[in-house]
Amino acid sequence: MYEGPSWLGPSLKELLADVDERYARQRPLPNAHTIWELVLHITAWIRIARERLSAAKPRDPDPVENWPPMDGPWQSAIAGLETEMDALERAIRDFPEERLEDSAPAAEPQTFYVLLHGVIQHCAYHGGQIALLKKA
């Protein structure tokens, strides 16, 4: 969902390629998140999923970590997403396949397999929102 071809449409990287800071801050739909807020939220959950691959205890984000404020430059938000996605990719590559059906540390019981599919689905869901915001 982050980079390359997808059955669902453009990848996150493709969707964000032409988004500048001004555009990322816009709220074309009342009561909807901005593209920037969505990028920070996606990044937070990629990090949490990566941490859960190696953590012994579940850690759910607090409300500010779940929906961080739009601080700093837009390019830092994009760079943070790229960094976390690269780190998740490395963690997945290093994760033993035989542990996919083991319980993952999370507030609700789930396997590592479900955790990894969940982070993909989460990216797809919010990627769809970003695509709609770009059309609004």
For residue 7, being part of any structural domain is answered with no
**Number of domains the chain contains:** 1
33-44 residues labelled b (16+ CB within 10 A) or e (exposed):
bbbbbbbbbbbb
For residue 115, being part of any structural domain is answered with yes
Phi first, then psi: what are they for 30, rounded to 5°?
-55, 140
Per-residue pLDDT of the chain (136 residues; tens, 9 = 90+): 888 888 888 999 999 999 999 999 999 999 999 999 999 999 999 999 999 998 766 677 889 989 999 999 999 999 999 999 999 999 999 999 999 999 988 767 899 999 999 999 999 999 999 999 999 8
Residue range(s) defining the domain that contains residue 57: 12-135
Report DSSP letters for 69-109, one per residue: ---S-HHHHHHHHHHHHHHHHHHHHHS-GGGTTSEE-SSS-
For residue 79, being part of any structural domain is answered with yes
pLDDT at 69: 94
The β-bridge partners of 103 are: 111
Q: What is the DSSP letter of 110?
A: E
For residue 67, being part of any structural domain is answered with yes
For residue 3, being part of any structural domain is answered with no
pLDDT at 109: 83
Reported pTM: 0.93
Return d(Cα 34, Cα 50) in angstroms, integer: 24
For residue 47, being part of any structural domain is answered with yes
* CATH code, 85: 1.20.120.450
Q: Which residue has the tokens 């691959």?
A: 53
